[in-house]
Structure 1
Amino acid sequence: MTSHMLSTLTEAQVDRAAAVASRLGHERLPGEEFATFWARIPVTGAVDHTGLHQRPDTELGARIFFSSGGSTGIPKFTLLDHTEMLRNCAVHGRGYRSCGIGSRDTVAAWGLAGTMNSEFTMYLALAETGCCTLPLGKGEDPDSVIDLVSRFDANVLLVMPSNLAPVIARLESTGRRLESIRLVVTGGEPLYPSDEARFRKSLGNSTAFRSVFQTSDTGTIGYQCASSGPGEFHIHEELQLVELIDADVEGTGYLVTTNLERRLTTVVRQRTGDLAQALEPNCPCGDASPRIRLVGRAGKIVKFGGEKFAVNSLVHLKEELGLPLDDFEAVLGKDSAGRDQFVIGSERMSADPQLQERARQLFAAISPVVRSQIDLGVVGPLEFSGPAGGATSRTVSGKTAYFTDRRA
């Protein structure tokens, strides 16, 4: 296993990393080089820590569970003490400031606290910017959101793309715009270029789009500045040690993080589930922190007609066709002959034969294997349908489900 540590570690960071690892029983030997010691620690996936609050022999103090459905929809719980939670919020708030949120802004923010959601920490993080926060709850009623944003002169939206899409659709249908919005800060899921272009048409012409990056398991990880490109993030290096594991010839590897300030739920060399590339740290904004570019989710590989298929490649099809995120869902199932078959759910595409033919061409061009399997009849031809209710499916954590495997 090869590893590339993005930060040039100080002695203080080395000591903190070794102390965190020791909580899991990984002890640095006397005189052992840190790189050698670190390589001995296994890389892990996300762990459920549901039972931590039930340890009767330890005084744990004030603590709180964070929860996540993840891309699999299987709940995972992480336990933080109160001090850790506040520290994470403070660092996350600095990320919001780097995105461009300041004390003169009024930020309309989606989200409620509850199982699978810990959005109250977002409000604590926003307090670090000095802004005025306008909580919108779940924001499920687009007309109510539009009315509140207008009434309170909000000029920043803090929202997942999936939750903004219905509001944009309502603005499009009524011919209205929210021209007061100067900045949209997203998180939780990627914002693709075609969706950004669509959203901007219903907001101000100069609206900026930036993002933050975090997971419930590992805490806040990164943020975008004004110079960040799509998927590019600065790393909160005061909180995270970030590595790329097993990078390919193009420099794309598995993103692995170590949180330097976790006490109850120790996070050491844990995969985030993302694929990333390292960028040069000399960002035009002057921030010298390490930088990465996220290139997709790891593990999104399925067997399609007996061959491995990278689900992330379907995003290319969505973007080439200019389909919005709320009108695109790829479902893998079986056709009447029992063959594997993809069905693209899209109301726009289901009513446009020319768009369908273009989609078939793009799908066949994804890889020579896919083209060969289609030509040989090993898999069923690409088909199309309108998604139920005119909207794509959601995960338990509210994110858009771009892909669903229904063969089981």
Structure 2
Amino acid sequence: MDTITAPRRLPRIGDWADFAGLTRVQDEALPGALAAAATSPFYRTRRDGVPATRAELSRYPLTTKADLRDAYPFGLLAVDRSELATYHESSGSSGTPTASYYSRDDWADLIDRYCRVRVGIQPSDTFMVRTPYALMLTGHVAHAAALSRGATVVPADNRSLATPYAKVVRLLHDLDVTLTWSLPTDTLLWAAAARLAGLRPDRDFPALRALLVAGEPLSPARRERISRIWGVPVVEEYGASETGGLAGECPHGRLHLWADRAIFEVYDPAAGRTSAEGAGELVVTPLFRTAMPLLRYHIGDLVEVSNRDCPCGWALPTVRVLGRFGTDDGLTQAGLEEVVFRLPAEFGVLFWRARTTSYGVRIQIEVAAPHQESAVRRLAAGVEEAFGVRARVEALPPGSLVPEQLLTAMTDVLKPRGLFAGDEDWDRALRYY
């Protein structure tokens, strides 16, 4: 991507002193967001039209993922196609993909938000990007942000056969990687792969200074475990392909919504109402999106939002992300993960899975034989205490959920070719693997 420079002044932390000041920052930006939406075919032709004020916006119908799928590919485009910089899609696991697209103005905002990361990105950094590239947004944003700060980027896409876990460990070690960007689970897989390679995560990667993570719920207990394993801070971000980064950590380690760049609401589906804080499903109206404006976009993630003051003084709402799946008894991935990672570190439990059942929840964990009985007993009791849910816990030997072969294999990645020697396997002529 060409160098992105901001043609407009974006809000900076410190431009407001309190939550009333933050509201004024939002109110100054909102007319531009509403004007952009008025040029979008989706909103222009919607029965409700386009709201003209913040009060009207608060009563406006939510924009859903189904709306985005129905508008595929360019039904939400609010600028000329010539103004687009990139086009992206969700994973499309539900069938029709969710499209999103960004202008160069939008990219200036995406990069600026990412660069708020509390550990900073420096020219001296070697930054490994281990999130998907291809049509998804996350890897491209981190890549562009790191380049904008002069860092060296290692593009280790986690959806490519060219970078298996064993190679990631080699790159981390040999290139003196200082920062990484990945799913939280990936950092545990690297640790397991490093140990199989005879390396100690907390000692044999001295250049590493922080692990930047996003893409799945991260409980305090798992965060602490990852940090202890690697001996560096774990820094969380939160966002979505349709919006880019939505929240980041302050110096006190609390996750704050970037409410100077978007208006956030918490939706209660049972009541059909939204509020500025509390528990529910996140709704977002980006304030600086030009190519694809979104009004009250219902992301659907379960969150807890608070407008209480934080020692950092940013005057931005704090958020706890619980994931996209919850049960009527309050069981969420983040909540269950918290109980799993409260097990003593010496048990070595890194990998687990669970499913709801008619009697409660079934959980499988990898744990070495000496600790299996104790781990099963303590985890079942912890789940029942935390959620009032019966848990059937099954202890599996290490390698059952994450096979050793996955962590040690070095996949043979080929270029397709047509001419082969007589003793070569020409059935692989058009394969990349």
With structure 2 as the length reference, what TM-score do the two structures score? 0.70
The 3 A distance-change label for structure 1 pair 75 and 355 is farther
Task: Identify the residue that residue 61 of structure 2 maps to in structure 1.
Answer: 42
Confirm or deny that 1:331 pairs with 2:346.
Answer: no
Do the aligned residues in 2 keep the contact of 1:331 with 1:345 (CA within 8 Å)? no
**Secondary structure class of the residue paired with 2:247:** strand
Q: Distance in 2 between matches of 1:6 and 1:242?
A: 16
**Secondary structure class of the residue paired with 2:318:** strand
Q: Distance in 1 between matches of 2:105 and 2:286?
A: 11
Residue 263 (structure 1) shift: 3.9
Residue 49 (structure 1) shift: 5.9
Confirm or deny that 1:259 pairs with 2:286.
Answer: yes
Confirm or deny that 1:137 pairs with 2:165.
Answer: no
Residue 164 (structure 1) shift: 1.7
Residue 186 (structure 1) shift: 1.0
Confirm or deny that 1:276 pairs with 2:304.
Answer: yes
Residue 79 (structure 1) shift: 2.9
Task: Identify the residue that residue 88 of structure 2 maps to in structure 1.
Answer: 66
Do the aligned residues in 2 keep the contact of 1:188 with 1:213 (CA within 8 Å)? yes
**Secondary structure class of the residue paired with 1:274:** strand
The 3 A distance-change label for structure 1 pair 120 and 147 is same
Across the two proteins, how many residue pairs are aligned to each other?
A: 356
What is the one-letter code of the residue matched to 1:125? A
Q: Distance in 1 between matches of 2:72 and 2:50?
A: 25
Residue 319 (structure 1) shift: 2.9
Among 234, 245, 253, the alignment partner of 1:228 is 253
Pick which of 185-194 and 108-117 moved more. Answer: 108-117
Task: Identify the residue that residue 143 of structure 2 maps to in structure 1.
Answer: 123
**Secondary structure class of the residue paired with 1:134:** strand
Pick which of 127-136 and 177-186 moved more. Answer: 127-136
**Secondary structure class of the residue paired with 1:362:** helix
Task: Identify the residue that residue 412 of structure 2 maps to in structure 1.
Answer: none
Do the aligned residues in 2 keep the contact of 1:257 with 1:268 (CA within 8 Å)? yes
What is the one-letter code of the residue matched to 1:219? G
Do the aligned residues in 1 keep the contact of 2:209 with 2:233 (CA within 8 Å)? yes
Do the aligned residues in 1 keep the contact of 2:353 with 2:363 (CA within 8 Å)? yes
Pick which of 150-159 and 140-149 moved more. Answer: 140-149
The 3 A distance-change label for structure 1 pair 108 and 251 is same
Among 317, 337, 349, the alignment partner of 2:339 is 317
The 3 A distance-change label for structure 1 pair 355 and 112 is closer
**Secondary structure class of the residue paired with 2:115:** helix
Runs of 5+ consecutive residues of structure 1 not aligned to the other structure: 303-307, 334-338, 375-380, 394-408
Among 366, 370, 382, the alignment partner of 1:347 is 366
The 3 A distance-change label for structure 1 pair 87 and 28 is same
Q: State how 1:244-255 maps to structure 2 within 5 Å.
A: 244-246=266-268, 251-255=278-282
Deviations 1:352-408 (A, max 9, x none): 12221222222332445x4xxx6xxxxxx6141538953369xxxxxxxxxxxxxxx
Confirm or deny that 1:95 pairs with 2:110.
Answer: no
Q: Distance in 2 between matches of 1:35 and 1:236?
A: 15
Q: Which has the higher strand share?
A: 1
Residue 154 (structure 1) shift: 1.7
Q: Distance in 2 between matches of 1:363 and 1:271?
A: 30
Confirm or deny that 1:106 pairs with 2:121.
Answer: no
The 3 A distance-change label for structure 1 pair 143 and 201 is farther
Q: Distance in 1 between matches of 2:276 and 2:386?
A: 20
Among 22, 28, 31, the alignment partner of 1:12 is 28
The 3 A distance-change label for structure 1 pair 7 and 73 is farther
Q: Distance in 2 between matches of 1:201 and 1:183?
A: 12
Among 378, 392, 406, the alignment partner of 1:382 is 392
Task: Identify the residue that residue 263 of structure 2 maps to in structure 1.
Answer: 241
Q: Distance in 2 between matches of 1:263 and 1:127?
A: 23
Matched residues, percent identical?
16
Task: Identify the residue that residue 186 of structure 1 maps to in structure 2.
Answer: 213
RMSD: 3.7
Task: Identify the residue that residue 413 of structure 2 maps to in structure 1.
Answer: none
Q: Distance in 2 between matches of 1:13 and 1:387?
A: 55
**Secondary structure class of the residue paired with 1:214:** strand
What is the one-letter code of the residue matched to 1:296? L
Deviations 1:57-114 (A, max 9, x none): x9522543322238x7666322314325522432234223x44222222212213522
**Secondary structure class of the residue paired with 1:222:** strand
With structure 1 as the length reference, what TM-score do the two structures score? 0.74
Do the aligned residues in 1 keep the contact of 2:103 with 2:291 (CA within 8 Å)? no
Residue 299 (structure 1) shift: 4.7
